[in-house]
Amino acid sequence: MRVLVTGSSGFIAGHLVRRLAAAGHEVTGLDVAEPRRPVEGWRDVRLDLRDDEGVARVVAEARPEVVFHLAAQASVSVSMREPRLDIETNVIASLTLARAAAEAGTRRFVFTSSGGAMFGAPEIVPAGDDTPVEPRSFYGASKASAEKYLKIVEWETGMTVASVRPANVYGPYQDPHGEAGVVAIFAQRMLRGEPVTIFGSGTDTRDYVYVDDVVEAQVRASEAPGGEMCVIGTGEETSTRRIFDLLAQHCAYERAPVMGPPRAGDIARIALDSTRARDVWGWTPQVPLDEGLARTVQSFREQL
């Protein structure tokens, strides 16, 4: 199959392009940033998705049967500081890419949305796909809006649009220098013997899903006949303090955490109920948290 993957220099799409190339697909990766790992087995294009003409040209050349769209302004705090950048990248560029893909004959478009940011602070946890969409950040609003725009492209063009809505994704090669991605940040600092800060009380919970499980959901979404929107999570709530303790064991880290002030906008608890993903894509999480953390620490250790 001919496949286009956007965001290919990033964390999740970096895993996806490798899996697709290993399966023998003809893959074009597109990202504005240089890849942090060697490119082997796919065509790698450097382009800002906000460049409409460039996007039309790349899509017309690649003629993808399937597009996996993961490139995004993926930071909640950047979205609050620069909502225009967030809207341009996550909504307008997604719309332009989808229309260009449909024009080039793409059959399926798999959008990566967000399960964590979509529902704000839901009354019932774990939150399923029927939970009211009430984002509390511009990032969440941009992902929810993009889903709506892409559904209109589906009606307009007949190209099937699916939406994968992951919880908190973790795994090897996640950027440890960002302000999100607590597993990567903690693991890297622990392996270096540096202090680790927990913001807030440490009791906030998140649903941590391993990157290979998210990639599997994307592949299944691309193979399913309908354009479904499904949250992808384990259903389990894990506190930040528990993540600290588990990682400390794997990293043989003996220092206590530094407790910092709570961060504005952080929600108290979230986990996702992936019943719909199980029903329509046959997807269930395969990698238990402790196993995923062990693999992640091992990978970071090798990189160091």
Ligand X SMILES: NC(=O)c1ccc[n+]([C@@H]2O[C@H](COP(=O)([O-])OP(=O)(O)OC[C@H]3O[C@@H](n4cnc5c(N)ncnc54)[C@H](O)[C@@H]3O)[C@@H](O)[C@H]2O)c1
CA angle 49, 86, 80 (to 5 degrees): 160
Could you count the other beta carbons within 10 Å of the beta carbon of residue 84? 9
250 vs 259: CA distance, rounded Å = 21
Residue of the chain from 71, 224, 272, 280 that contacts ligand X (CB under 6 A): 71
Minimum CB separation from ligand X for residue 177, in Å? 11
Alpha helices in the chain (DSSP H): 11-22, 52-62, 76-81, 83-87, 93-103, 115-118, 138-157, 182-191, 211-223, 240-251, 275-281, 289-303
Q: For residue 59, state whether it binds ligand X (rule: CB under 6 A).
A: no
Query: Closest-CB residue for ligand X?
Result: 10
Q: For residue 74, state whether it binds ligand X (rule: CB under 6 A).
A: yes
Report the chain's terminal Cα–Cα distance, integer Å: 36
What CA–CA distances, in Å, run from 6 to 129, 141, 177, 189, 260? Answer: 25, 20, 21, 29, 35
Q: For residue 237, state whether it binds ligand X (rule: CB under 6 A).
A: no
Q: Which residues inside 19-38 make contact with ligand X, applying CB under 6 A?
A: 31-33
Q: For residue 7, state whether it binds ligand X (rule: CB under 6 A).
A: yes
List 139, 170, 173, 210, catalytic entry: 139
Mark 79-118 with x for binding to ligand X (rule: CB under 6 A) and - for no binding.
----------x---x------------------x-x-x--
Question: Is the distance from CB of 89 to CB of 49 less than 8 angstroms?
Answer: yes
Minimum CB separation from ligand X for residue 256, in Å? 26
Q: Which pair of structure tokens corresponds to residue 232? A: 């992808």
Minimum CB separation from ligand X for residue 257, in Å? 21
CA angle 14, 94, 168 (to 5 degrees): 50
Minimum CB separation from ligand X for residue 72, in Å? 3
Q: How many positions of this chain bind ligand X (CB under 6 A)?
A: 26
**Does 253 participate in catalysis according to the annotation?**
no
**What's the DSSP call for residue 206?**
E
Residue of the chain from 4, 5, 9, 104 that contacts ligand X (CB under 6 A): 9
Minimum CB separation from ligand X for residue 121, in Å? 17
Q: For residue 272, state whether it binds ligand X (rule: CB under 6 A).
A: no
Nearer to ligand X, 102 or 215 (CB): 215
176 vs 185: CA distance, rounded Å = 5
Q: Which pair of structure tokens corresponds to residue 134? A: 């009430």
Residue of the chain from 3, 4, 5, 10 that contacts ligand X (CB under 6 A): 10
Helix (H, G, I), strand (E, B) or coil at 166: strand
Binding segment toward ligand X, per CB under 6 A, in 66-74, 155-163, 282-290, 296-304? 66-74
Question: Is the distance from CB of 228 to CB of 161 less than 8 angstroms?
Answer: no
Q: For residue 12, state whether it binds ligand X (rule: CB under 6 A).
A: yes
Q: Which residues inside 142-181 make contact with ligand X, applying CB under 6 A?
A: 166, 168-169, 175
Minimum CB separation from ligand X for residue 215, in Å? 11
Site residues for ligand X per CB under 6 A: 7, 9-13, 31-33, 48-50, 70-74, 89, 93, 112, 114, 116, 166, 168-169, 175
Active site residue ranges: 139
